[in-house]
Amino acid sequence: MGFLFVCQAEVNYLGQFSHPNLVKLIGYCCEDEHRLLVYEYMACGSLEKHLFRRSCATLPWLTRMKIALDTAKGLAFLHGAERPIIYRDFKASNILIDAEYTGKLSDFGLAKEGPMGEQTHVSTRVMGTYGYTAPEYILTGHLTSKSDVYGFGVVLLEMLIGRKAMDHSKRSRQHDLVKWARPLLVRSSKLLKIIDPRLEGQYSNKDVERVARLSYDCLNQNPKMRPVMSEVVHILQAMLRKDETILPHSPEAALAPPEVGSAVEEEQREAVGHRKGDVALPQVGKEDVDGSAVEEEKGEAVGHGKSEVGKEAVGGFGVEEQRAAVGKETVDGAAVEEQGEAVGQFKGDDDGHRHRPPRQRTEMNSNVHCINFPKRSKSSIVEGAA
């Protein structure tokens, strides 16, 4: 009965609603005890695969935020329907990505009609996935649209930090991502230390703090204090549209270098530490490293720690002393800058690492994706029909 209920819910909701951020149900087959659902083909698979599998190319910052906005629009559409629909199983594995990296909600097996009129909630058996389910729903069985907001906050946190909601390979206090990371989201000094290191240099501090605050609010223990999904959409749209940023359609586009002198370039330089107080550093040794315009501060890499800019007379000539540059030595009392073969000689990223370009995605010719409805994992809490 549970399997039949899930298939029926899929057909009912996906057959009834149409939205750019909901996966399309092409058709279904029902023969004896066999059930088959046919979805549109989603070339890039699930968000979970891209976030946590080493075999997949890392999703850049802008692509992650675009997918977050897409799924927020999908939830806002469901919550704003004439009869509100509560998705109830929002998680990374249920977010599918098409060839243009558009995020869409799939698997409506646990979806439930929400409260109407003066109703404040729907009472139902607890169903969902551990780590993504709202705490008040687990305790009381009271289901509201704010339960979906909590799940969205968990997935947004996964995108931000690059860890699973539940990960027993970590230290015991870090098993539950929300309990460990949520208090750190509003502490700037701690926040930048827990951000997914694969995103280094792709975001501004202001943007990452804004997204962290949004996740923090969505994960509030009090459901009444969480934002509604329409507010979440507005916040993400405002962030992505600022400075007329064009959203990328792929990781390759997201990693493309910004135009010289653009606001995006300035934010990236600030994010990787090229602004030290109010001192304007000379743009010497600037390279285009892995898609970002980066000014090499090599002095910090070798431990000089000097940032003043001064002048000394060497042999009667004025020489600008760049104390933050690498290879500086004192020869016969004169400050000499060792530039190598050229001033702009490429020496890699500030952290000494070289990044591999994302793997090329194999194009598929199929137009539809045929899914034989899978059994639910043991982590799912499915106790029966609501």
Catalytic residues: 89
* C-beta of residue 196 within 8 angstroms of C-beta of residue 160: yes
Q: How far is CA 102 from the centre of its chain?
A: 13
Q: What are residue 176's phi and psi, to 5 degrees?
A: -95, 110
Measured CA angle at 326 (ends 324, 327), to 5 deg: 135
- 248 neighbors 62 (Cβ within 8 angstroms): yes
- Report DSSP state, residue 308: -
List of residues 6+ apart from 370 with CB closer than 8 A: 36, 38, 39
Q: What is the DSSP letter of 350?
A: T
Residue 30: phi and psi, rounded to 5, are: -135, 110
Q: Torsions phi, psi of 315, nearest 5?
A: 60, 30
Place of tokens 């409260």: 115
Helices 229-241 and 205-218: crossing angle in degrees, nearest 10, is 180
CB 165 within 8 A of CB 99: no
Residue burial 144-171, b: 16+ Cβ < 10 Å; e: rest: bbbbbbbbbbbbbbbbbbbbbbbeeeee
What DSSP character marks residue 315? Answer: T
The radius of gyration computed from the CA coordinates of the chain, to the nearest angstrom, equals 25
Looking at the chain, which runs of residues are DSSP E strands? 25-31, 34-40, 85-86, 95-97, 103-105, 112-113, 122-123, 128-129, 142-143, 286-289, 292-295, 309-314, 317-322, 329-331, 334-336, 368-371, 380-381
Beta-carbon count within 10 A of 340 CB = 12
Would you say the C-alpha torsion 8, 14, 68, 234 has a positive or negative sign? negative
